[in-house]
Each structure stands twice: as C-alpha cells, then as structure tokens.
Amino acid sequence: MNGRVVVIGAGIGGLVSAALLAARGCDVTVLEKEAWVGGKARRVAVDGAEIDGGPTVFTYRGVFDEVFAACGARLDDHVTVRKAEVLARHWWDDAGGHLDLFSDHDASVAAVGSFAGPAAARGYAAFAAEARRIFEVLEDPFLHGDKASTPLPMMWHMGLARLPEMLAMRPFDGMWAALGEHFADPRLQQLFGRYATYCGSSPFKAPATLMLIAHLEARGVWLIEGGIHALARALAGLAERQGARVRCGAAVAEVLTARGRTSGVRLASGEVIPADTVICNGDPSALATGRLGAAARRAVPAIPPAKRSLSALVWYAHAGTGGAGLTHHNVFFSRDYAREFAEIGAGRSPSEPTVYVCAIDRGADHHAAPPPGSATGGRERLQIIVNAPADGDVHTYTPEETERCTSAMMATLERCGLTLEPSFPHRLMTPTDWEHLFPATGGALYGRASHGWAASFQRQGPRTRLPGLYCTGGATHPAAGVPMAALSGQLAARAIAKDLASTRRSRPAATPGGMSMPSPTTGSTG
C-alpha cells in the first residue's frame, strides 16, 4: 500500500498510527513541535532528577503487544515491563489506615473485608463482577470498533439477542448512585468513583458504564522502566524501523488542501511537506479553533468549554518523605468529595483536594521502599496530581494562587499521614501551563468529559469532514488514557488503510512480509 502520510504530533496515538501505516508501505513523516516524543508522556528535570511528566498508569498492555506484533516485533524486547502486585494504595486519614487493591482479585476482596467489613467485601465482589460484565460487552463493539454518532450502530452490530447485556451497561444510570448500590461505606464509594477521573470526568456526572475502568485496571497494572515516556520512545523507534521519519522541533502551522482534500502541511518555518493523508494527533479543539488553518477548522465540530474534561495541577517533585508508607501508586482522599467536584465545576481549584502521588522510585508491592541509590540526598522522585478546572485559556494562576494550591495539597497529605520536606524542589504545571503546551484546550487533559449517556458517542472519530484529514489521540474515540490513545491509533490506521485501498483498487492491500493490521475483534489478554 502506497500513500504519503503526515502525522501532526508524536503522542501515543500518532506514533501507533505511524508505525502501523509505515509497516503497510506508506511513506510516513511524524512532525512534533516539541523537543520530545510522547506528548504528555515526557520527562521533566527537577533538582538534577528526571521526573515522569505525564500518565503513570499502564494497563491493557495487550493493545501494545498487538501493535508491536503487527510490525514484526515484541513489546518486551523494547521496554522493561513488570506487573504490579499492588494496584494502588488508598488513604483517608492518619488514624484509619490504608486500603490496598491487588492484581489478585481474591486478595482485593480480603483487603476490602479487613478494611470495611464482610458486607463491604461482598459488595466489592459484586461490583467487580458488574464492572467486568460491562467491559466484556463493550470491548469488541465500542473500544475496538468504529466510532458511531449514536449507540444504534453498535447495538445493531451486537444484535438484539444481546439486548439484556446492552441494558446491563447501565448507560442511563449515574455512576455515583450505582456505586451506592454496592458500597454502604462512603470511602469505598469515593474510591471507585475516582475511576471516572481517569477519563477526566466527575463521578457525580458520569454514567455507570464507566465502572468498566475498574475492571480494566484489575486485569493488570504494569510498571515500565523509564515510565510511559520510555514506551513512547519505543513506539517512535518502532515506527522508524518500519521506514517512518520522526522530526521533533517541527511545528505545523497549517493543513493544506487542494481540490477539496488534504494536500500536505506547512510548517511554522515555511517548509511545505506534501501528503495525501494528514493525521492530527492532538486535541480536535486545535483544529476547530483554526490553529491549523481555515480548511481544517471546518473539519471537526468545536468542543464547548462547558463540555471539557478536567485539567490538573501537577507537581514534579524531588522530595524527602516521611510518615505514610508509599507504594508506586497512591491516593489520598479529601473528606468531602461532593464539595471538591462542586468547586471544580464552579471554576475553582479545590480547597481540600484529593491527591494522587506516583512514587516513581518505588515498586508496587507490600513494602515498596525506594531502591538503594535511587534518590540523592534522601529525596525521591514524585509526580503529584490534583484535579482542576480546564480554564487555562481564561484564567492565569498567580504566584499567590499556586502557593495556596500547594498548601492545600500538602494539607491533604499531612492529614493522611504523609509529610514532604518543607520547600521541596518542584515544578508546578497549572491549567494555564497545559493550555500553553496544548493550545485551544483550556488545559483539558482528556478531551471531552464523559458526562451523560451520549458523551462517549460525541467524541471525535478518526475521520473528519475534510477528506484526507484524520484524528487520533486520547481526545478522540474511544476514550482517554494511554491504551485508549493506542486504540485510537489503530482505528485511524485502519480507516486510512481502507480509504487508500478504495482509491487504489488495483493495488493489493497486503502488508509487506505478510503482516496485517490487528483485527478489531481480537480480544486482548493484557
């Protein structure tokens, strides 16, 4: 299969599309405005240490096994991956102890029972079964399937015989209320409601369908040596070995058109790169607001600011810690979850936030002390995240406000028993900073929020209104997150391969060397 393809942005989705299309014989060029590949999955230098600067939770690894296999390679030959024993450690206060969830289901049931009693253990088992059922119903037709504007095509594909299963997805039920059916203990309702934030949504506005995220994590969390950025570098190398070119420091200013379809791109430097196909690996808002030219502006609908997902305050820290024993993934909850999300919904940073801490130098087992020599001066590398409103295009965080947010974050940690050294070395990213890095988003990190039953069907799909222009990435179908961005890359590559083949019917669609695109119906064993 021939075809000149330009990918705008070297995030996970764009790199997956680039590798798969290059493996099928396309002439692929990836253009990244920043100095690194990976998009949000980057490294940040703080106090002489390299801090993981983007997503930290790696699940659904079977998607990446498929991508590497389609290119004649193995994931394990390019990154060092180990499965986590402890999925995450959860804290509410210094006196009540903590709750670990495990990769072993029975261990999680027992832990919930020890923490909140036998009824809670039964509730967790029932919740886990429901989350698994929702995931299994949606995995093939939705996560791996083509984007539809309404549920009807997906339901037709599934067949009326599976109508009871469709209703079991609970699209019209609220997530918070559904969790209340399983958990009388408000701490557990809060814990499992937090999974809505994995796609930048409020647990008080998200549909119960999003409970499937808990099952996806329960299937396995992996730690990658070097973080998700190492995975992005591996994908870039994979694409290059298939013949793709990856250029950093190459900002695209405009998508060019001729005869009603894409004809290439013009860089900020003035250089023009011809292309039959252009893939935008970024938030569709950049297209809709004209950041890539007038022709591309008409290609996708705009996302209203009220529909944006969450943004975040993120501290990249090199700090000494004390008190609470950390594992790799840790969550310290606020005392009033409803107030926290009400404040965010009103455009304010939360006065008492829930805080996620990734202790980068620690493993994910019961006793995850930092390995010897991993930190200097008694410090360890941390990424600390607090949810925030996506208003970075209309609100600038002042020094006084960032200091107030830092104090609120540290107060939550201290209430739960974790102390950080005073004035610890760190760099803070606010929604304003995210807007500068990803223009036209307001700092939204997940595209459109998944609020209401129809929201998931309103995400941008791979095809746009402009022939030859496609979208991929975490802000597109099927959802946000590292594996979903990779799935979007697969879907975009599949759509492009089909469209190119339809214009070159005389050319065979087989991949050189006998490789083929992963089947959309292939289940992952991740």
Tokens of 43: 């490294």
Cα separation, 101 vs 89, in Å, equals: 7
Cα separation, 314 vs 269, in Å, equals: 32
Q: Check pLDDT > 80 for residue 314.
A: yes
pLDDT at 198: 96
Pick the CATH number of 4-41+62-80+226-304+450-514 from 2.40.110.10, 3.40.50.720, 3.50.50.60, 3.40.190.10: 3.50.50.60
pLDDT tens figures, 265-284: 999 999 999 999 999 999 99
Question: Which DSSP string corresponds to 382-394?
Answer: EEEEEEE-S-TTT
pLDDT tens figures, 489-502: 999 999 999 999 88
How many C-beta neighbours within 10 Å does residue 83 have? 11
**Direct distance between the N- and C-terminal alpha carbons of the chain, in angstroms, rounded to an integer:** 30
Q: Worst-scoring range by mean pLDDT, 88-97, 123-132, 218-227, 262-271?
A: 88-97
Domain extents in the chain: 4-41+62-80+226-304+450-514, 106-219, 310-437
Residue with tokens 């996970």: 12
Supply the pTM of this predicted model: 0.91
Does residue 308 contact residue 448 with C-beta atoms inside 8 Å?
A: yes
pLDDT at 147: 64
The pair phi, psi for residue 102, each rounded to 5°, is -120, 160
pLDDT averaged over the chain? 91
Which residue type does 520 have? P
pLDDT at 462: 96
Q: How many CA atoms lie within 13 A of 7 on its CB side?
A: 37
Higher pLDDT, 516 or 262: 262
pLDDT at 516: 39
Q: Worst-scoring range by mean pLDDT, 143-157, 186-200, 274-288, 451-465?
A: 143-157
Higher pLDDT, 304 or 455: 304
523 band by pLDDT with thresholds 50, 70 and 90: very low
Average pLDDT on 294-311 reads 95
Higher pLDDT, 525 or 428: 428
Higher pLDDT, 149 or 485: 485
Q: Check pLDDT > 90 for residue 213.
A: yes
pLDDT at 467: 97
Phi-psi region of 403 (alpha: psi -120 to 50; beta: other; left: phi over 0): alpha
Cα separation, 103 vs 111, in Å, equals: 12
User: What share of the chain in percent tops pLDDT 90?
Assistant: 83
How many C-beta neighbours within 10 Å does residue 229 have? 23
Q: Check pLDDT > 90 for residue 150.
A: no
519 band by pLDDT with thresholds 50, 70 and 90: very low
User: What share of the chain in percent tops pLDDT 70?
Assistant: 89
pLDDT tens figures, 1-35: 579 999 999 999 999 999 999 999 999 999 999 99
129 band by pLDDT with thresholds 50, 70 and 90: very high
Cα separation, 191 vs 212, in Å, equals: 14
| CA distance readout (Å), 271 to 111, 237, 256, 277, 468 | 59, 25, 12, 17, 20
3-state SS, 324-349, equals CCCCCEEEECCCCHHHHHHHHHCCCC
Tokens of 155: 């339901």
Beta bridge partners of 463: 470
Please name the residues in contact with 124: beta carbons below 8 A apart, sequence gap of 6 or more. Answer: 108, 109, 112, 182, 183, 188
Cα separation, 390 vs 395, in Å, equals: 9
455 band by pLDDT with thresholds 50, 70 and 90: confident
Q: Check pLDDT > 90 for residue 483.
A: yes
Cα separation, 128 vs 140, in Å, equals: 19
pLDDT tens figures, 50-77: 999 999 999 999 999 999 999 999 999 9
Q: Check pLDDT > 60 for residue 506.
A: no
Burial of 35 (0-12, 13-18, 19+ CB in 10 A): exposed
The residue among 196, 174, 203, 177 whose CA lies nearest residue 453 is 174
Average pLDDT on 238-256 reads 98
Cα separation, 457 vs 142, in Å, equals: 10
Cα separation, 494 vs 23, in Å, equals: 12
| CA distance readout (Å), 246 to 64, 72, 235, 311, 456 | 19, 19, 11, 28, 31
Q: Check pLDDT > 60 for residue 468.
A: yes
Tokens of 19: 């590798």
Residue with tokens 């029972």: 113
